[in-house]
Chain A
Amino acid sequence: MATLRVLFVDDEEELVSTVVERLELRGIAATGVVSGEAALALIEEQPFDVVVLDVRMPGLGGLEVIKRIKQSHPDLAVLLLSGHGAKEDATTGLRLGAFDYLQKPVDLEDLIAVLHRAVAGGQCG
């Protein structure tokens, strides 16, 4: 089975490094960045199967990032994470093409299950 390639995007650097390390310990090729801008730049350089995006970030927020990802990489699966629980964000995100919308805190095993579902669904970079 090909190694899952995940890009994790959140403005909390400590969270990004910890989650990336935990995913890698589970055999997932994970990369982390701390801004929407950095995510968009990296997607142009490297292939990913799934992008995990925090909704609320300085600069480009998750909803704007997903909009741009879907313009340039329509088949790239995007998963939105939020600590707010605002239904509008979930609705908008799904309408923009997010595969799923999860509320923080997310159990890592649950996250991984959703990542595999996103790829199995046929959406990949």
Chain B
Amino acid sequence: MAETLSENHIREQAFLYFSRVLSGQCHEMANALNIARELCGLHEDILPRAREGHADAVERLGSLAHRMQTQIDRCHAIVRTLSRFAHSADEVRLPCDVREIIERALFFAARQVRLRQAELQAIVPAGDVQLVECNPFLLQQAIHAGTELLLEGIERSRRITVCLTPDADGEVVTLASADPFVCNDAAAELLAEITATVQAAGCEVRETPECNGRLKFFIPGCRRGATSTDSDLAIPKGTGGGCDVS
């Protein structure tokens, strides 16, 4: 395995991750705003006919408003998620909702998954808040990087699943693909980065994908059944980002 990566290197990688996420989400927001802009233009195009009383034009204006709202909601979801992401770097280690970390990681990962024409499915149990104790920023970074690692091997199934399961002393996040894992130099380097990031997050890598295509992280638990003051993230479906959470 590669040498232990220094704290400086981990900070550097975290900064790179932050800038990549920001860049990708800015692009997604620009897409949504561009669509809203065109819809406003179409609204202007149709307005004269609506003013003349053409019923079809009046009806179109109503549907346009709804379509504009969809793009605005898409931007709001991105801004909300980015804000939570930025704040996750406030504390080095604290109790946090592991579901929220997973949802946020996959929200940002969804863009690359879509560009690679693959599918991302999260299997995360509903119910009480599942508090874990870790560095939320670094854990999110590791989960996101885990999806990128498995994306390299996507061929047949074109699907990555991310599951959250309870463990005796915490939670286990499992990333898996039905496709065989591509173990080349780039993958080995990324896996080393992920391992270092997971450890720096205060968690543990339990399995790596060379044998069975699974990447497993153990996250130490905090306490169960606590009431969370955090609202659930709304992950938009479709081109805006996010994935199905069942």
Contacts and interface: CB of A to CB of B under 8 A. Distances in A.
Contacts of A18: 35, 38-39, 41-42, 67
Nearest to B39: A18
Interface in B16-35: 27, 30-31, 33-35
Interface in A1-54: 11-15, 18-19, 21-22, 25
A121 interface: no
Interface in A39-81: 56-59
Given A22-B42, A84-B27, A14 B35 contact: yes
A22 B31 CA distance: 18
B37 A105 contact: yes
A76 B141 CA distance: 44
Interface stretch (B112-120, B131-139, B197-205): B112-120
Given A14-B67, A15-B31, A84-B27, A59 B117 contact: yes
In this complex, which of B30, B35, B41, B117 has the most chain A Cβ atoms within 10 angstroms of its Cβ?
Answer: B35
Interface in B48-106: 67, 70-71
Contact of B38 (A19, A25, A57): A19
B165 interface: no
Contacts of A83: 27, 30-31, 34
Given A12-B239, A58-B117, A108 B41 contact: yes
Contacts of B115: 56-58
Interface string B193-213: 000000000000000000000
A35 to B, nearest CB: 9
A21 B42 contact: yes
B35 A22 contact: no
Contacts, number: 49
Given A19-B38, A104-B30, A105-B37, A14 B117 contact: no
Nearest to B70: A14
Contacts of B114: 58
Contacts of B34: 12, 15, 83, 104-105
Contact of A22 (B33, B41, B67, B239): B41
A80 to B, nearest CB: 15
Contact of A105 (B33, B39, B42, B70): B33
In this complex, which of A18, A56, A57, A105 has the most chain B Cβ atoms within 10 angstroms of its Cβ?
Answer: A18
Contacts of B33: 105
Contacts of A22: 38, 41-42, 45
Nearest to A61: B115
B27 A15 contact: no
A84 B115 CA distance: 15
Interface of B: 27, 30-31, 33-35, 37-39, 41-42, 45, 67, 70-71, 114-117, 239
Interface of A: 11-15, 18-19, 21-22, 25, 56-59, 83-84, 104-105, 108
Nearest first, the 10 closest Cβ-Cβ pairs linking A and B are: A18-B38, A105-B34, A15-B35, A58-B117, A58-B115, A83-B30, A14-B35, A25-B45, A104-B34, A18-B42
5 contacts: A22-B42, A56-B115, A59-B117, A105-B33, A105-B37
Given A14-B39, A83-B30, A84-B27, 9 more contacts: A11-B239, A12-B34, A12-B35, A14-B67, A14-B70, A19-B38, A22-B45, A58-B114, A108-B41
